[in-house]
Structure 1
Amino acid sequence: MGQKPRAYLSDSNAAKLSAISDEISNWKSSHRITATENQLLRHDLVLAVNRIANISGTYGHHRSILSGGALKDLKLSQSIFSLGNSEGHQVRLGKAEDLAQEITADLVYLDPPYKKRQYAANYHLLETVAVGDKPETHGVSGLRDWWPQYSDFCSKLKIHDALAAIVNGVEAPRIMMSYSEDGLISQQDMIESLSRFGEVKLHEFPHVRFRSNASALKRDLKEFVFEVVR
């Protein structure tokens, strides 16, 4: 028995997505667009797909029946840019642990994963749209090979070393990191871990939990911002 069709998108939207992605790739390979223009078009395509995906929060799996926004047509919307304050920005792509030594700033803000759920696995379809490739897929959910993007922040055993690599690597007198009461590491353990690098201040904020279904978990929780002053 073969694999059932995966219903992340309606048939018509899946066909549109494939056609648009292929055309962008053709334009890039024929030098009709630059690398930056390719990235911008794929950025817009990612946003368009996310608006009509048949999911309940992430792409770990799809709904069994097409419903809601998934019944709408895929439509691209043009990105609008502000011309103000457009000088001196830099964007880097890679693991924060590897890029940290390239960063010099007055303030560094970190927003790492805080659960064991790997982002790369749970947003695999958007990764494929962004990259523009046609990878082999595996399992019921049709995951691409996401292991090269594995995050150590999703492991209780590896998170402290990953955090140390970033904090020791960056040149910044102040570092702020957001985390959650729901995180793998408790508030006290995180304070102890960060205290290796400087004085730690804790800021707490009430937050409403995201729930994609009728979860029994409590609705309200605390979000933390840990501030490290060196």
Structure 2
Amino acid sequence: MRFIGSKTLLLDQIKQVIDEKAPGAESFCDIFSGTATVARYFKQWYQVCSNDLLYFSYVLQRATVENDSVPEFVRLQEETGIEDPIDFFNGREKKDLEELPKERRFFQNTYAPTGGRMYLNDENALRIDFARCTVEDWKTAGLLSEDEYYYLVACIVEGIPFVSNTSGTYGAFHKDWERRSYKRYELYRLAVTHNGKQNRSFNENGADLLKHLKGDILYIDPPYNARQYLSNYHVLETAARYDYPVVRGVTGQRPDEGQKSEFCMKNRAVLAFEELLENAQFKHIILSYSTDGLMTVNEIEKAMKKYGKPETFQIYEIPYRRYKSRKVKETERLRELLFYMEKQVPPCT
């Protein structure tokens, strides 16, 4: 999935730092999980907990981190004869979709030309509506377990960017149709890594959650700049919630109360970071941050040395291409930084 600040290209470097600094670690926490790319990757070796304030992120985590295998949909098959719900949805013809009542077609009525916007073409929006409504109906009828429900919703969400008429985020849509928007929408079949451990996922404020978590490795990948993530991914958030929100403006933004990150506020980012560090009950802490972020390197170093063992503080520099939908020139390149510290052990009382 295209996502601001995605760490797909940095996974090996993060693993190298962990192997060097925490060779005996058994647990890993991804407190700003986003698309769950990092959490899924480290699930190969560790018991993982993941978290994000965005619900669509939680859905992806719940499906691929907390789930320890792809669900089997036994009850659904017994009651409906549907052996593979993803094949079922992806194989629907347009006439099947038209059976969905118009008042239930939120995506078609909101994000497609029918609703005056061009995030998706009408048929793809209707395909999403049909899948989401059907999954909700199956859940209400008791045909899906929690694991199965979140897996299907995640597969629905994951497929949307492949046909979206945007440059990667949903702050705006193109006025002309991009090539990808002509593709037929399909649910994306997500792989699930099995590690046999009690992995957990959360949808909470990270600083508050850390008061209740303990472990070996804490990975922190907060927002870098002033762009609030909900406004950039509101379509995916609505796909996950499917709560028929009252949207506003030309771009159809959903309400964002309680989902604004202080890391996107210049005058609050450092304080928010310090709160995370203070609450963290993890021995090894790794921060991923960009050189064009709101916090300066000096501010980060000062905070980490305040709450960690100063002599363990270390910075790793990694050349990294700015997230854009086009290739960038060499002069536009920036550096991704990995900061490491060992958490200060509280004195015995």
TM-score by length of 1: 0.92
- Judging changes above 3 Å, is the alpha-carbon distance between structure 1 residues 47 and 189 closer, same or farther for their aligned structure 2 residues? same
Give the corresponding residue for 2:121: 10
Letter in 2 for 1:111: D
Q: Distance in 2 between matches of 1:26 and 1:47?
A: 20
* SS of equivalent residue, structure 1 residue 148: coil
Report deviation, 1:215.
7.8
Report deviation, 1:4.
6.9
Give the corresponding residue for 2:333: 220
Q: Sequence identity of aligned pairs in percent?
A: 29
Q: Distance in 2 between matches of 1:189 and 1:229?
A: 17
Question: Can you give the 5+ residue segments of structure 1 that lack an aligned partner in the other structure?
Answer: none
Indicate the structure with greater helix content.
2
Report deviation, 1:59.
0.6
Give CA-to-partner distance per residue, 1:13-38, whole Å, 9 cap, x none: 01111111111111112222122222
1:63-74 superposed matches below 5 A:
63-74=174-185
1:14-33 superposed matches below 5 A:
14-33=125-144
Q: Distance in 1 between matches of 2:208 and 2:178?
A: 41
Give the corresponding residue for 1:124: 234
Give CA-to-partner distance per residue, 1:85-139, whole Å, 9 cap, x none: 2312121221111101122111111110011101111100000111121111011
Give the corresponding residue for 2:319: 206
Matched, 1:196 2:306: yes
Give the corresponding residue for 1:89: 199
1:41-120 superposed matches below 5 A:
41-83=152-194, 85-120=195-230
Give the corresponding residue for 2:146: 35
Q: Is the 8 A contact 1:58 1:123 kept in 2?
A: yes
Give the corresponding residue for 1:133: 243
Q: Please provide the CA RMSD for this pair.
A: 2.0
Report deviation, 1:189.
2.1
Give the corresponding residue for 1:172: 282
Letter in 1 for 2:334: L
Q: Is the 8 A contact 2:270 2:295 kept in 1?
A: no
Q: Distance in 1 between matches of 2:178 and 2:269?
A: 38
* SS of equivalent residue, structure 1 residue 211: coil
Q: Distance in 2 between matches of 1:45 and 1:205?
A: 34
Report deviation, 1:193.
2.5
- Judging changes above 3 Å, is the alpha-carbon distance between structure 1 residues 211 and 177 closer, same or farther for their aligned structure 2 residues? same
- Judging changes above 3 Å, is the alpha-carbon distance between structure 1 residues 25 and 97 closer, same or farther for their aligned structure 2 residues? same
Q: Distance in 1 between matches of 2:278 and 2:153?
A: 34
Report deviation, 1:78.
2.7
Q: Is the 8 A contact 1:197 1:228 kept in 2?
A: no
Report deviation, 1:203.
1.0
* SS of equivalent residue, structure 2 residue 336: strand
Q: Distance in 1 between matches of 2:338 and 2:243?
A: 37
Give the corresponding residue for 1:182: 292
- Judging changes above 3 Å, is the alpha-carbon distance between structure 1 residues 164 and 186 closer, same or farther for their aligned structure 2 residues? closer
Give CA-to-partner distance per residue, 1:20-79, whole Å, 9 cap, x none: 111111111222212222211110001111111111021111111111211100012333
Q: Distance in 2 between matches of 1:158 and 1:228?
A: 22
Question: Can you give the 5+ residue segments of structure 2 that lack an aligned partner in the other structure?
Answer: 1-113, 344-349
Q: Report which stretch shifted further, 166-175 or 212-221.
A: 212-221
Q: Is the 8 A contact 1:203 1:225 kept in 2?
A: yes
* SS of equivalent residue, structure 1 residue 225: strand
Q: Is the 8 A contact 1:124 1:146 kept in 2?
A: no
* SS of equivalent residue, structure 2 residue 258: helix
TM-score by length of 2: 0.62
* SS of equivalent residue, structure 1 residue 63: coil
Q: Distance in 1 between matches of 2:198 and 2:144?
A: 24
Q: Distance in 1 between matches of 2:332 and 2:138?
A: 47
Q: Distance in 2 between matches of 1:140 and 1:216?
A: 32
